[in-house]
Amino acid sequence: MIPNKLKKGDTIEVIAPSNAVSKDDEKFLKETEKKFNKYGINVIYGKNIYSNLLGYGASPREKAQDLNEAFGRKDVQAIFCAKGGENSNTIFEYIDYELIKKNPKIICGYSDITSITNMITEKTGLITFSGTNFKTIATDETDFSYKQALSRFVDGNLEFGPENEEYIT
């Protein structure tokens, strides 16, 4: 399953399925939000992104609730993870994989988030994206992450880097 591309007027929901968003993070989220708004994409936030019930983030049920609600919302076309952290694997049993199958959409994040995107792909067949977290767009020294997000999610470009550049793994 390949999710639909983003277009102007669409909405991104930002969730925190790993570590909670702190007050220090908030300014970076708002900077990233302004970039997307300027492009014509709306941004909303999951209700539990500031929850810090466990001292490093929301409870597994709260984290999964935000993920499930984002996939269930008809007015949300993409989901970005606010940032990485640890213990995102604790939400696996609370993810509604059937809901995701019925409502495929872009989900993007990296670091600890990779376990969630890998699990979603494994259980649903949805193509997920290991890419920039929402906060990272504002904390990077360049616009690379933001430009890559637009290239992937708006233009549908799956190329990595300049055409003639060589990458060795």
What pLDDT digit, counting tens, does each position of 124-147 carry? 999 999 989 999 999 998 888 899
Residue 168 pLDDT greater than 80, yes or no: no
44 — pLDDT class (breaks 50, 70, 90): very high
Measured distance CA(143)–CA(47) in Å, rounded: 28
Contact 100, 106 (CB under 8 A): no
C-beta atoms surrounding 159 within 10 Å? 10
Measured distance CA(36)–CA(138) in Å, rounded: 11
Measured distance CA(49)–CA(69) in Å, rounded: 13
Task: Name the DSSP letter for residue 91.
Answer: G
What confidence score (pLDDT) does residue 144 get? 85
Task: Output the CA–CA distances (angstroms, integers) from residue 153 to 17, 65, 81, 92, 98, in the order listed.
Answer: 21, 24, 15, 25, 23
Task: Name the DSSP letter for residue 42.
Answer: E
What confidence score (pLDDT) does residue 165 get? 73
Q: What is the pTM of this model?
A: 0.92
What pLDDT digit, counting tens, does each position of 5-33 carry? 999 999 999 999 999 999 999 999 999 99
Residue 41 pLDDT greater than 80, yes or no: yes
Cα dihedral 22, 88, 151, 6 sign:
negative
C-beta atoms surrounding 131 within 10 Å? 20
Q: C-alpha 139: how far from its chain's center?
A: 16
Helix (H, G, I), strand (E, B) or coil at 69: helix
**What is the average pLDDT value for the chain, to the nearest integer?**
93
Largest CA distance in the chain: 48
What confidence score (pLDDT) does residue 161 get? 65
